[in-house]
Amino acid sequence: MVQIKSAIASFGILFAYSTIATPLSKRAALDDCLKTAAVPALEFQSKDYNQSVKPFNLRVNFKPVAYSVPTTVKHIQDAVSCGAKNGIQVTPKSGGHSYGSHGLGGEDGHLIVDMRNFANVTLNLAEQTALIGTGGRLGDVATALYSQGKQAIVHGTCPGVGVGGLSLHGGYGMMSRGRGLTLDNILEVELVLANSSVVTASATKNPDLFYALRGAGAAFGIVTNFKFKTFTPPENNIVFNYNVRPGTSENLANMVTVLQNFAVNEQPAELNMRLTISPGSSLGGVYYGSREDYNKLMGPLLTKLGITGGQVSNNTWISTLSAFAYGPLQQAKPYDTHENFFAKSLMPSWLSAPAINALANYWNTTARTNTRAWYLMIDLHGGKSSAISKVGADSTAYAHRNATFKMQFYDRSFFGDYNPSWFSFLNGWIGNITAASPGENFGMYINYADTSLDKADAHKRYWLGHYDRLVGIKKAVDPKGVFEGPQLVGS
């Protein structure tokens, strides 16, 4: 290893060495190629490099072969070409928030293409559209759209998440029941393909690619920017957060049952809501409408749920976003927020009574005694009036249109490393729910990447019945597998 390090140093190499066996000759050839094309790259172990390879999820670390930071589309094309020529997998990274560190390749040995310099936001107010670079973070994008013309797009709640990963694989937030996922609001995509050509995908140009990019994007190219539909955000919004104290597993099962029925049959598009089960459980969300209508809608529901105390406030658009951001919308540079966790998801179309009982019993017997900062967040995702469910099941690669709930299971350590022996906590919870639901084909959300899934299971769970079509598109646009990762389509 010492010999390898010194050989690398003697080449004056830009990139990192990794512990995986990427032959030195390949690395040198990649380095030469990047240098010849003048693609900007971070020097191995420079301050910026060390900062950039530190993932959001500190539990999941990878060592790239090289770390490029292009400033032009030509640089991206050249980086892709250098990777392809030298048999090195190429991975775009935007906000770096993948739970499985997929923006760092999801394994050692990739050439990273960091999109930080592609973060422009250009609003066309008359058209109500915006060109948005994939390297921007949600809080910065929301702030820019609002300050340029009081506009907004649909997006997730965490302001540090990158536009790239969120939009290419889903994008659920507190506007989704009325306006769909982030990917439902993409009008056009510009991307660099595996053969280094630059193409546009939309409903009329490269429609197959457009389908694949909206739900499985990482495997198909490097997206430089999106054209999004924007909207004028509402300015008098009711943000609520109620304390939930189920006490017994029967009460929790009742709550989940009531919320499932409500999501499917009664919840209007103006109401976005999530139940967070944790050591301090809550029911929180936003209603876009009057206080009077809100009270009429929520009063009977809260009674059925046995909820009495909480906060309800009126908010502008920006303060609505801030209420769910748990911090400022605009993000520090360099971005330096991290957690240490294991997460899983389930996207059930319907939870049977035995499945709900299994969920509640596990909470009572096991989760309640876990002293780490865990949570199970249940978003009321689908149902009769949800804009997500109204989009045709096969019109995008996103495979969970019929999911009533979006369930995120998250277990983190605030003190020290996450110990692998703790994986059994969430695996056990999901195992009990699925074992109580024979015949149910549960989907999972790749934006909550689950590192415990093997390739075949990841493909099946993330893309369900869409997977075979996606593989066909992948073969057509990336036959040599330039964009691969352990859980991506076609890998």
Ligand X SMILES: Cc1cc2nc3c(=O)[nH]c(=O)nc-3n(C[C@H](O)[C@H](O)[C@H](O)COP(=O)(O)OP(=O)(O)OC[C@H]3O[C@@H](n4cnc5c(N)ncnc54)[C@H](O)[C@@H]3O)c2cc1C
Residues 79-138 within binding reach of ligand X (CB under 6 A): 91-99, 102-103, 115, 134
For residues 447 and 345, what is the distance between their CA atoms, to the nearest angstrom? 9
Residue nearest to ligand X (CB): 165
Nearer to ligand X, 57 or 385 (CB): 57
| Interaction mask 223-252, ligand X, x per CB under 6 A | x-----------------------------
**Tokens 């520090």 sit on residue:** 332
| Interaction mask 27-56, ligand X, x per CB under 6 A | -----------------------------x
DSSP string across 294-353:
HHHHHHHHHHHHT---EEEEEE-HHHHHHHHHTS-SSPPSS----B-EEEEEEB-S---H
**Min separation Cβ 384 and ligand X, Å:** 22
Q: Identify the CA nearest to 212 among candidates 480, 32, 472.
A: 472
Residues 472-491 within binding reach of ligand X (CB under 6 A): 485
**Min separation Cβ 390 and ligand X, Å:** 18
**Min separation Cβ 174 and ligand X, Å:** 8
Is 62 in contact with 101 (CB distance < 8 Å)?
yes
Phi, psi of 90 (to 5 degrees): -110, 135
| Interaction mask 193-222, ligand X, x per CB under 6 A | ------------------------xx---x
For residues 368 and 386, what is the distance between their CA atoms, to the nearest angstrom? 32
**Min separation Cβ 419 and ligand X, Å:** 20
**Min separation Cβ 99 and ligand X, Å:** 6
Cα dihedral 47, 48, 51, 56 in deg (nearest 10): 180
Q: How many residues bind ligand X (CB under 6 A)?
A: 34
Q: Which residues contact 72 (CB under 8 A, 6 or more apart)?
A: none
Nearer to ligand X, 292 or 417 (CB): 417
Nearer to ligand X, 22 or 94 (CB): 94
Nearer to ligand X, 13 or 130 (CB): 130
Nearer to ligand X, 162 or 285 (CB): 162
Nearer to ligand X, 94 or 267 (CB): 94
Nearer to ligand X, 335 or 362 (CB): 335
| Beta-bridge mates of residue 341 | 412
**Residue 59 carries which side chain, given as an amino acid letter?**
R
DSSP string across 191-234:
EE-TTS-EEEEESSSSHHHHHHHHHHGGGT-EEEEEEEE-B---
Nearer to ligand X, 262 or 410 (CB): 410
**Min separation Cβ 27 and ligand X, Å:** 21
Residues in the chain: 491
| Interaction mask 142-181, ligand X, x per CB under 6 A | --------------xxx--xx-xxx-xxxxxx--------
Structure tokens that stand for 246 in this block: 């189920």
Nearer to ligand X, 170 or 246 (CB): 170
Residues 348-387 within binding reach of ligand X (CB under 6 A): none
Structure tokens that stand for 6 in this block: 């010194």
What are all long-range contacts of 461-468, with beta carbons under 8 Å and residues at least 24 apart? 462/216, 462/399, 462/487, 463/215, 463/216, 463/397, 463/399, 463/489, 464/399, 464/400, 465/399, 466/215, 466/216, 466/394, 466/397, 466/399
| Interaction mask 435-454, ligand X, x per CB under 6 A | ------------x-------
Is 109 in contact with 65 (CB distance < 8 Å)?
yes
Nearer to ligand X, 240 or 375 (CB): 375
The enclosing H or E element of 240 equals: strand 237-243
**Min separation Cβ 324 and ligand X, Å:** 8
- Could you list the residues that contact ligand X (CB under 6 A)? 56, 91-99, 102-103, 115, 134, 156-158, 161-162, 164-166, 168-173, 217-218, 222-223, 447, 485
